[in-house]
Structure 1
Amino acid sequence: MDLFIVNVALPSIKTGIKGTDADMQLVIVMYIIGYASFLITGGRAGEYFGKKKVFLTGMLIFTIASLSCGLAQSAVQLNIARFIQGISAAFMVPQGIAFIPDLFPDPTKRTKMLGVYGSIAGIASVAGQFLGGLIPDLEIIPQGWRLVFLINVPIGLTAVVLGFKYLKALPVKTNGKFDFTGSLLLVLTLTTLIYPLIQGRELNWPVWSILLLFLSVVLLLVFIYYQRLNIRMGKSPLISLSLFKNFDFRMGLLISLLYYLVQDSYFLINTVNLQNGMGVSSACTGMYFVCQGVGYVVASVFFTPLVARYGKSVSLTGSLIMILALVFHLIIFNLNEVPQLYIILVLFTYGVGCGTILPSLMTLALKSIPEKMMGASSGIYLTLQQVSVAFGVAVVGGVFFNQLQSPLAAPYPVAYQWATLLNIGFLVVVSVLLFLAPKTKHTSLS
C-alpha cells in the first residue's frame, strides 16, 4: 500500500519538497532497490534470529523511516529514508509468509491462507491508489503530502504492539552462523542488476548501465560458487540450493517470472497511452485503474477460497481472462472514439483476471515447501517478483517507447499494439505452463 500511495502522490511530493523529476524517480527507485536487494537476506534472517524478533524489528524500523520521510526537509533526506524503508520492509515481509505454516499446519488451510495473503496485494493496491490521490488534498496538516508517510506511524506502532503481544516466539530451528559474506554478495548482485534495469531504459541505456548488468552476472556466478563452497565445508549457505529440487517451487517461480513481466509493464504502457495517446486526463486515468483494482478485489475474494480445491485450474482461468481482456484492449483502444463505459468494462475484466491468477501464484510456488524453509523460499519468490517486474518494464516499455521514438516514429496505437501483443505472448506461455503442470502434489523436501 505504501508503494502505491507514493506512486500516485508523487506530483504533490515533488511540489512540497521542491524536488526535480530525477529526485522523484529516486523516491520509487531507492525503495525498490532496498526492498528487492535484501528480501532473501531478510527471509533467511528470520530463520536464524527468530521470525517474531525480525518481523517486529523490521516493522519498527519501517515505522521510524516513515516518520523520517514525513518530516524530510529535502529530497536527499527523503530518499535516504525511502531506502531504509525498503530495507526494513525486506526483513519484515517474508516473516509474514513464514508464519503461515506455523499458524496453519494443515496443508489445505495453509494453501487457502497463502491465497488470502496473495489477495491482500490487490486490496492494498486499490487502497493505495485511492489514498494516494486523496491524502495530499486533505487539509489536516500543512503540506498534506507528508501525511502519505505519516499515516504509516500509527499503523506501524499498532502492528508492533499487537505483534509483540500475540505472535508466538517460535524456537529457532537453524543451526550454524548466518552467512554475512553470502548476504553481501547477493545484495551487490541484485543491486547491480535492478538499478540499471530501472534506470537504464529511462536514460536510453548508457554504457554504465550495460556494464553494471554484466557485473551482476559475474557477481551471481561468484555468489553461486561461494554457496557451493559453504556446502562442501559443512557451513550453512544463505540459499539452500536443494530448494530448487522441488518441482512445485521451480514451476511456480517460472510461471511467476513470466506473469510479472506483464504486471507493471501493463500499467506503464496503458498510463502513457491513455494520457498521451488518447488525451485522457490524469484524474480520469486514475479512476480507470481504480476500476481495474476493484475487479481484482472482487475476483480475489471470490476465487481465493477455490484455490485449495481446484488448484491450477483457478490460475489458468485467470490467465485466459487476462488474455481475452488484452485482446479487447487492442480492439477498443484502436477506435476513433472510445466510450468511457467500454474502457471501464475492459479494465475491470482485466482486473478480474489478475485477481483470479495472482493470489494463487504464491500458493503454487510455496505449497510443498517445508516449514523450516518457508522464510528463505518466500524471500526468493518475492525477489524474483521484483526482478521480473523490472525486466518487464525494461523490455515491454522499451518496445513501446522505441516504436514512438524511432526515426520512422510510429503513432501511439501502433506502439501500444506491439507492446500489448508482447504481453499477450507472455501470458500465453503462462497459460501453457499452467495447463502442462501436474495436478497432483509433489512430495515436499524433508
Structure 2
Amino acid sequence: MKSDSLKLIVILFGQLLTIMDIFIINVSIPSIQHDIEASNGEMQLIISSYLIGFASFLITGGRLGDLYGRKKIFIIGLLMFMLSSIGCGLAAGSVLLIISRFVQGCSAALMSPQVLSMIQIVFSKHEQRTKAMGWYGITIGAGTILGQFLGGYFSSLTFMKEPWRLIFYINIPVCLLAVFSGIRILNESKTMSTGKFDRIGVVLLAAGLFSFTYALTMGEHKEFGMINIILIIISVSILIYFIRNQKSRMNKGKPYLMDLKLFSFKNFNLGILAVSFFFIMLDSYFYILALFFQEGLKINPLASGEIIVFQGMGFILASVVSPQLILLYGKKFLISGLGVIIFILILQGCLFTAKAPFLLLYLILFIHGLGVGSVIPSLANIALSEIPGKLAGNASGVYITFQQIAAIAGIILIGSIFYYFLGTEPLFDDYRKAFEITLFTNIICVIIVIISIVKTPADLLLKRK
C-alpha cells in the first residue's frame, strides 16, 4: 500500500498551482502590458480570464471526477494546465494570452475539486482528514506567498528579454513531476455509474457562471454599469433554469450534472454559508488593505507587499498547528480563531494611522494571519463532513464555486462601499473613514460565519474515540 503522505503531496501539487497562478501575474502586470502592448481593457481580461474559467467549470470538474475517475481527471487537468501555461509563455499578443489564461482557469477547475474529494477518500478517518486539511491550508498560504514572490522575482530578472514569461514556464516542471508521480502513486476512485454525462447541464451552468463571474470580475476593475447588471440578470435567469432542469432530470432518472441532494445535508449548507461570508470578508479585506496602505498611508508597493508577507507567515503557522487543536477543542477553537480576526480588525481600525510603525503593522497582520489560517481548512471539513464518497467530487466543486464567487462578489460589494465613503478627492481622513466602515462590514460577515459554525454539531470536529 502506497504511503498516504505521498498521495497527499501529489494531490496538493494541483492546489499549489491553482492558487499560485491566481497571484503570480499581479506583480508582473506592468512588464506584460509594456512588452505585448496591451490596452488597460485587455490587461483586465488577462487578469480576469483565469478566474472566469476557474469559477465557470468547477462543478463540471467535480462531476467529471465522480463519473470518470478522480485520478484521471486530475492528471488531465495537470496536462491541460501545463499546455495552457506554455501557451501563456509563448503569447505574442493579448488575444492568445487571454485565451490561454482562460484555459488555465478551466484546467484548474478540473484539478481543484479532485484535491478536496481525494482528501476525503484517501483520509477516511476523521483525525487523519483533519491533519490533511491542515496541509491543504498550508498549501493555500504557500501558494499565495510564492505566487507574489515569484511574480516579482522573475519579472525583475535581467539575463533575458521579457523575463515575465518565466512565471508561466515555471509551471512546466511542476506539472510534469505531478503527472508522473500521480500516475505511479495515486489510486483511481469514481462513483459507480453508467458513464453518461449531462452535456446540456454543462452548457447551461457554464453559461450562467461565466456571465455572472464576467460581470463581477470586470466590475472589479472599472465602474459597475448597466452592462454588468444586465449580465447578472441573464446569468441568474440561466442558473434558475439550470436548477429546474436538474430537478427534472433527476426525477426522470436521466443523467444530471449537479446532485441537488447535496443541499439536504445540514452541515453542507452551513459550510457553504460560512465559506461564502468568510471569503466575502477575506478577499475584500485584502483588496481594500492594499489600497489603504498604498494610497492612504502612502506605503510603497514593495514595502506593502513585505508587510502582507507577515500575514501569510501567520497563516501558514496556524495551518500547521491548528489541526491538533481542532481535534482537541473542536468548533470552540474555530470560533476563537474568528474572534481573533474580529479583535484584530478592530485594532486595525484604531491603530493603522499615518504614524503607525512598521513593526506594529507586521505584528498585527501576523496575528490576523494566525486567525485566518486557523479557520480556512476547517470550513471545508465542516461542509464535506456528511457527504458520501460518491458525491465527494460534486460537493467539492459546488463548495469551491461558492468560495470563488463570494470572493469576487466581496471585492465588488465591499469595495463599492469603500469607494462611496472615500469620495472624489479623498484626504487621509477620508481613507481612514472608508477603511473603518469597510472593516465594520467585514466584522458583520465574520459574525455570520460564527453563527453558522455555532449551529453545527458540538462534536463535529472533535477527535473521535
Q: C-alpha distance in 2, partners of 1:16/1:345? A: 38
| Closer, same or farther: CA 155–323 of 1 in aligned 2, 3 Å | same
CA deviation after TM superposition for structure 1 residue 176, in Å: 5.1
Paired residues, number: 441
Q: C-alpha distance in 2, partners of 1:305/1:6? A: 35
Residue aligning to 1:383: 401
| Closer, same or farther: CA 52–351 of 1 in aligned 2, 3 Å | same
Report % sequence identity: 37
CA deviation after TM superposition for structure 1 residue 2, in Å: 1.5
Counterpart code for 1:271: A
Q: C-alpha distance in 1, partners of 2:377/2:460? A: 18
Secondary structure at 2:188's aligned position in 1?
Answer: coil
Q: C-alpha distance in 1, partners of 2:228/2:206? A: 17
Residue aligning to 1:359: 377
CA deviation after TM superposition for structure 1 residue 342, in Å: 1.0
Counterpart code for 1:339: P
| Closer, same or farther: CA 408–130 of 1 in aligned 2, 3 Å | closer
CA deviation after TM superposition for structure 1 residue 352, in Å: 0.9
Residue aligning to 1:59: 78
Counterpart code for 2:104: Q
Q: C-alpha distance in 2, partners of 1:172/1:422? A: 42
CA deviation after TM superposition for structure 1 residue 164, in Å: 1.3
CA deviation after TM superposition for structure 1 residue 205, in Å: 2.1
Determine whether 1:158 maps to 2:177: yes
Q: Please show how residues 20-419 of structure 1 align to structure 2 within 5 Å.
A: 20-170=39-189, 172-175=191-194, 177-333=196-352, 335-405=353-423, 411-419=430-438
Bigger Cα displacement from structure 2, 202-211 vs 402-411 = 402-411
Q: C-alpha distance in 2, partners of 1:352/1:21? A: 36
Secondary structure at 1:237's aligned position in 2?
Answer: coil
Counterpart contact for 2:70–2:190, Cα < 8 Å: no
Counterpart code for 1:223: F
| Closer, same or farther: CA 18–248 of 1 in aligned 2, 3 Å | same
Q: C-alpha distance in 2, partners of 1:385/1:332? A: 30
CA deviation after TM superposition for structure 1 residue 338, in Å: 1.3
Secondary structure at 2:24's aligned position in 1?
Answer: helix
Bigger Cα displacement from structure 2, 19-28 vs 305-314 = 305-314
CA deviation after TM superposition for structure 1 residue 93, in Å: 1.3
With the length of structure 1 as denominator, give the TM-score of the two structures: 0.95
CA deviation after TM superposition for structure 1 residue 287, in Å: 0.4
Counterpart contact for 1:292–1:351, Cα < 8 Å: yes
| Closer, same or farther: CA 408–302 of 1 in aligned 2, 3 Å | closer
Q: C-alpha distance in 1, partners of 2:83/2:378? A: 33
CA deviation after TM superposition for structure 1 residue 307, in Å: 2.6
CA deviation after TM superposition for structure 1 residue 408, in Å: 9.2
CA RMSD in angstroms comes to 1.8
Output one character per residue of 1:285-344: Cα deviation in whole Å (capped at 9) or x when no partner. Answer: 1101111111111111111333334332232121111111111111112x3411111111
Bigger Cα displacement from structure 2, 298-307 vs 288-297 = 298-307
Counterpart contact for 2:44–2:218, Cα < 8 Å: no
* Over 4 Å off, 4+ runs: 406-410
Output one character per residue of 1:237-277: Cα deviation in whole Å (capped at 9) or x when no partner. Answer: 21111111111111111111110001111111111111111
Output one character per residue of 1:357-411: Cα deviation in whole Å (capped at 9) or x when no partner. Answer: 1111111111221111110000000000011001100111000112223699871
Q: C-alpha distance in 2, partners of 1:336/1:205? A: 31
Residue aligning to 2:15: none
Counterpart contact for 1:112–1:308, Cα < 8 Å: no
